[in-house]
């Protein structure tokens, strides 16, 4: 995954809040395979002895001055980048001040912009968020904007100069999963910047779903730090993100109202009909793909998509669908500038 000119092998971004046992946090971070972590500046104050090496682009890298038994010492030891977070801010003014302090302390232009509306829901305040994004971009920041699952707001943030948009799956720490998969898929299909599913993930299957919906990465913390076995859950999340990405690229089969046998009925034992010649599986796949009226359309990035439905399972297209309700989960097509899928 490429963000602001920086290549990241892992598409799993980890948060560091929620675990007070640094040894356990270190093991979980290593198990996750993450290369980028968020750090809430109100929670960790680097100070002169905990500062970071100069890295104005691509997140901060903890300096050799950081004690080895500190959070920054752990991150430095394993080469994990730091993404400062404005967690706890309620206004654009507070977020700007926090971001500036983070840039001075951690020497990076990257910032995860988080402005919440109230303590009960911890939902993003869209008005303050858009205002802060515009101002931070003018100050030279690379803004990773934590936002709601509103596709319109996500595109407004992109147009304001956000480096990445980070729609929530559900409110922070709830573990409810992806409550509105249709909107997440809309954001992923329309945004030209990286889309990172942030917040609400409770287990590995939900992280995989985020990737299947077209997200470029997943950011999570509570799902790992509050799990009964954080290290095992971090491992599961790493594999889930990889599996979801592979499934997205492979392309799921179309949902059908009626069953479609994978083996020919003709030629079965007790039948007078001979088995058909040729490659039956290939023909069956071609027939399934050739169903009329699939309602496909091209989105802003050139990806072919189709109308979707949401079933009780919370999966796009869940439940029985008519033949025309086909979900195309093919990987993103090359962009107009020829740079190819993200």
User: Which residues are catalytic, by number?
Assistant: 112
Contacts of 295 (CB under 8 A, 6+ apart): 306, 307, 324, 325, 326
244 annotated as belonging to a binding site for a ligand: no
Distance CA 98, CA 83 (A): 13
For residues 75 and 62, the answer to whether their CB atoms sit within 8 Å is: yes
- Angle CA 213–218–219, to nearest 5: 150
State the alpha helices, DSSP H only, in 47-177.
71-77, 92-106, 126-138, 151-159
Tell me which H or E stretch contains 219.
strand 217-220
Annotated binding-site residue? 189:
no
Rounded alpha-carbon distances, angstroms, from residue 165 to 24, 68, 192, 250: 30, 33, 10, 25
Known binding residue 10? Answer is: no
Tell me whether residue 173 is annotated as binding.
Answer: yes
Distance of CA 270 to the CA centre of its chain: 52
Question: Which residues are CB-contacts of 88 (< 8 A; sequence separation ≥ 6)?
Answer: 40, 42, 98, 116
Q: Is 249 annotated as a binding residue?
A: no
Strands 2-3 vs 36-40: parallel, antiparallel or unpaired: unpaired
- What DSSP string runs through 37-85? EEEETTT---TGGG-EE--SSSSBEE-TTS-TTSHHHHHHHTT-EEEEE
Phi, psi torsion values for 198, nearest 5 degrees: -130, 125
Residue positions in the annotated binding site?
Answer: 173, 199-200, 221-222
Binding-site positions for 1-deoxy-D-xylulose 5-phosphate:
173, 199-200, 221-222
């Amino acid at each position: 995954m490429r963000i602001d000119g920086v290549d990241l092998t892992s598409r799993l971004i980890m948060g560091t809040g929620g675990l007070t046992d640094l040894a356990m946090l270190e093991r979980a971070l290593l198990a996750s395979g993450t290369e980028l972590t968020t750090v809430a500046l109100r929670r960790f104050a680097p100070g002169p002895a905990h500062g970071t090496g100069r890295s104005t682009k691509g997140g901060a890298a903890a300096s050799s001055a950081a004690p080895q038994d500190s959070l920054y010492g752990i991150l430095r030891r394993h080469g994990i980048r730091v993404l400062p977070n404005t967690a706890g801010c309620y206004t654009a003014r507070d977020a700007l001040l926090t971001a500036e302090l983070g840039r001075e302390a951690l020497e990076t232009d990257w910032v995860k912009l988080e402005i919440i509306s109230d303590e009960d829901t911890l939902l993003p305040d869209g008005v303050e968020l858009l205002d802060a994004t515009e101002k931070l971009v003018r100050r030279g920041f690379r803004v990773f904007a934590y936002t709601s699952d509103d596709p319109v707001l996500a595109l407004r943030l992109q147009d304001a100069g956000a480096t990445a948009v980070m729609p929530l799956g559900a409110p922070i720490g709830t573990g409810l999963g992806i409550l509105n998969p249709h909107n997440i898929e809309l954001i992923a299909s329309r945004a030209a910047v990286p889309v990172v599913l942030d917040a609400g993930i409770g287990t590995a299957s939900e992280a995989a779903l985020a990737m299947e919906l077209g997200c470029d990465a997943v950011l999570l913390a509570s799902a790992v730090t509050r799990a009964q076995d954080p290290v095992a859950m971090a491992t599961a999340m790493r594999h889930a993100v990889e599996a979801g990405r592979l499934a997205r690229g492979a392309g799921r089969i179309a949902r059908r109202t009626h069953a479609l046998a994978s083996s020919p009925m003709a030629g079965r034992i007790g039948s007078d009909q001979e088995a058909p010649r040729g490659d039956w599986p290939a023909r069956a796949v071609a027939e399934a793909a050739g169903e009329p009226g699939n309602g496909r359309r091209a989105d802003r990035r050139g990806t072919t998509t189709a109308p979707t439905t949401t079933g009780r399972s919370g999966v796009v297209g869940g439940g029985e669908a008519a033949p025309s309700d086909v979900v195309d989960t093919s990987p993103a097509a090359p962009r107009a500038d020829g740079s190819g899928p993200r």
